[in-house]
């Protein structure tokens, strides 16, 4: 995924960042989609919610199903560097 290049946006690394993030944290996609930047505290990530689809296929944010699903995950330095890239990308967009 690191060498994948989008046809129109050659420097667009969103797919790599997402796959790398999921592989390093072990999160489900529904949990990752519900994250906010405030869930990252230093080198730790708090997982407290997930996304679901309702009967009309609309995306909703809900609580996790089990109490054991609430967890704090440590983030390594390489992953934090990738996330900083995403923050910088968002700054450039605005």
Domain boundaries, the chain: 14-93
Helix runs in the chain, H state only: 14-25, 29-33, 77-93
CA angle 28, 73, 43 (to 5 degrees): 125
Under a CB-based contact definition with an 8 Å cutoff, are residues 16 and 9 in contact? Answer: no
Do you know the residue count of the chain? 94
Distance CA 34, CA 17 (A): 16
> Can you give the pLDDT at residue 58?
92
> Can you give the pLDDT at residue 84?
80
In tens, the pLDDT along 69-93 reads: 999 999 999 999 888 866 666 666 6
In tens, the pLDDT along 4-60 reads: 666 766 666 677 788 889 999 999 999 999 999 899 998 999 999 999 999 999 999
CATH of domain 14-93: 1.10.443.10
Distance CA 69, CA 21 (A): 18
Under a CB-based contact definition with an 8 Å cutoff, are residues 25 and 75 in contact? Answer: yes
> Does the reported pTM lie above 0.85?
no
Rg of the chain over CA atoms, in angstroms? 15
């Amino acid at each position: 995924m690191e060498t994948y290049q989008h046809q129109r946006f050659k420097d667009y690394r969103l797919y790599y960042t997402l796959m790398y993030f999921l592989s390093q944290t072990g999160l489900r996609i529904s949990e990752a989609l519900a994250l906010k930047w405030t869930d990252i505290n230093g080198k730790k990530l708090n997982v407290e919610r997930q996304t679901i689809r309702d009967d009309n296929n609309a995306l909703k944010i809900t609580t996790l199903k089990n109490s054991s699903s609430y967890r704090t995950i440590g983030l390594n330095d390489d992953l934090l560097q990738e996330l900083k890239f995403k923050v910088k990308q968002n700054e450039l967009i605005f």
